[in-house]
């Protein structure tokens, strides 16, 4: 004999605003306090939600941080193919470094994750897989289209181009110089001249 189907209504649906508050707060506290010092209690308090709200979504701190890091990549839509490689690459660079520059999120988070690499190697690996990997794939796709269209030289090592963009940005940050839009445009123009046909 089978039990009759349950007539109990489903639980309350998840609140997208609470989801966003939890993930944003997790990122902020990860940057401000570091992985070891931050706690689920602290995230709940700062996000204005109950601990049970977080634990219904994530079993613990590690899973919460993983979800927060993954949310960065999910928020970045790849630029559409405009038919002009320079414009597409410029849009990609502006979008990517806009996120890194926003409130110091990128620099601080990468620093925090690198510090934890020995104790929590899965965290930096997740960042590489969930955030860096997809961005590299998008950049590679834009550059390959440029080669196919004859806008970028075929002998250019495409991986190196992406590393040069990132390296210039992080070097500028390390020496404490402003990385405003004019500077970013000048770096982009210099690198574009080196790869364009």
Instruction: Determine the pLDDT at residue 24.
Output: 92
Burial class (CB in 10 A: 0-12, 13-18, 19+), 184: buried
Q: Which of 34, 72, 30 is nearest to 47 (CA)?
A: 30
pLDDT at 78: 83
List the CATH number of the domain containing 54.
1.10.10.60
Question: What pTM did the predictor assign?
Answer: 0.77
How high does pLDDT run on average in the chain?
Answer: 86
Same domain, 108 and 151: yes
Q: 157 and 84 in one domain?
A: yes
CA distance 60 to 38: 12
Q: Report how far apart, in Å, the C-alpha atoms of 23 and of each of 44, 63, 156 are.
A: 10, 11, 39
CA distance 142 to 168: 19
Model pLDDT, residue 146: 97
50 and 93 both lie in a single domain = no
Based on the fold, state whether residues 53 and 86 are members of the same structural domain. Answer: no
What pLDDT does 122 receive?
80
- Among residues 194, 188, 152, the alpha carbon closest in space to that of 172 is found at 188
Query: Which pLDDT value is given to residue 20?
Result: 94
- According to DSSP, the residues that pair with 152 across neighbouring strands are 196
Within the chain, what is the greatest distance between any pair of CA atoms? 76
CATH number at residue 87: 1.10.357.10
Same domain? For 145 and 112 the reply is yes
pLDDT at position 105 is: 63
| 10 phi/psi in degrees, rounded to 5 | -65, 160
- Which residues of the chain fall below pLDDT 70? 1-12, 102-106
Length of the chain: 197
Smallest Cα–Cα separation from 108: which of 173, 38, 179? 173
Structural domain for 112, as ranges: 78-195
What pLDDT is recorded for position 8?
A: 45
Q: What is the DSSP letter of 197?
A: -
- 196: β partners: 152
> What is the number of domains present in the chain?
2
Q: Are residue 32 and residue 121 in the same domain, yes or no?
A: no
Considering the domain architecture, whether residues 104 and 35 belong to the same structural domain is answered as: no
Q: Are residues 84 and 170 in the same domain?
A: yes
Q: In which residue are the tokens 């440029």 written?
A: 146
């Amino acid at each position: 004999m089978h039990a009759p189907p349950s007539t109990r209504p489903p639980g309350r649906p998840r609140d997208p605003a609470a989801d966003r508050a939890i993930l944003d707060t997790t990122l902020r506290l990860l940057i401000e306090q570091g992985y070891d010092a931050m706690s689920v209690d602290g995230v709940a308090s700062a996000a204005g939600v109950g601990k049970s709200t977080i634990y219904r979504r994530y079993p613990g701190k590690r899973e919460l941080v993983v979800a927060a890091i993954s949310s960065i990549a999910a928020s970045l839509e790849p630029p559409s193919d405009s038919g002009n490689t320079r414009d597409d690459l410029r849009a990609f660079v502006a979008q990517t470094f806009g996120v890194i520059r926003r409130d110091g999120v990128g620099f601080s988070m990468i620093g925090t994750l690198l510090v934890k690499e020995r104790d929590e190697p899965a965290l930096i690996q997740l960042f590489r897989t969930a955030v860096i990997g997809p961005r590299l794939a998008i950049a590679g796709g834009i550059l390959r289209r440029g080669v196919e269209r004859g806008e970028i030289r075929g002998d250019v090592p495409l991986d190196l181009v992406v590393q040069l963009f990132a390296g210039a940005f992080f070097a500028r940050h390390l020496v404490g110089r402003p990385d405003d839009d004019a500077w970013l445009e000048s770096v982009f123009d210099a690198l574009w001249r080196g790869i364009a046909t």
